[in-house]
Amino acid sequence: MTNPIPPAHNKRQASNSSDTHHAGSIGSTHHDHANDELHALIETQLQGVYDPEFPVIDIFTLGLIYDIGIDITQESVQILMTFTTPACPMGEMLEQMVKQAVLDVLPTYDVTITITFEPMRSPKMIKDEDLQRMFE
């Protein structure tokens, strides 16, 4: 998945290590079959994460995940995501749920979450067309 999101000025990072990662590092550094399998595994995991305030649709289908970057050599995953609103009261909890979902299948990997609000999430970002119509 390529990064369709422009560099964000309003973003926050959370990492489970002391390493600093930037949104510019999002994206696969070595895109091969193993990377594709890990990407699919992470997407599947994220389809099991639900916003506590909107528990009907998973965050991946809802369009909150903008990009997933994987570096197999460095054993790191970078996730660029947003919340349903900038003032999301469950934001920190949601970040931890996303990080834990990845660590559940890749426990040795460093997981970095970058939150952005550029572009703002809209119903057009929902990955399921039927669900999109419900929000129009």
The strand pair at 76-81 and 110-116 is best described as parallel
pTM for the model:
0.73
Q: What is the mean pLDDT of residues 19-48?
A: 70
pLDDT tens digits, residue range 75-102?
999 999 999 889 999 999 999 999 999 9
Check if the beta carbon of residue 10 is closer than 8 Å to that of residue 119: no
CATH number for the 11-135 domain, one of 3.40.50.300, 3.30.300.130, 3.20.20.370, 3.40.50.2300? 3.30.300.130
Kindly list the domain boundaries of the chain, sorted by start residue.
11-135
Cβ atoms of 103 and 123 within 8 Å: the answer is no
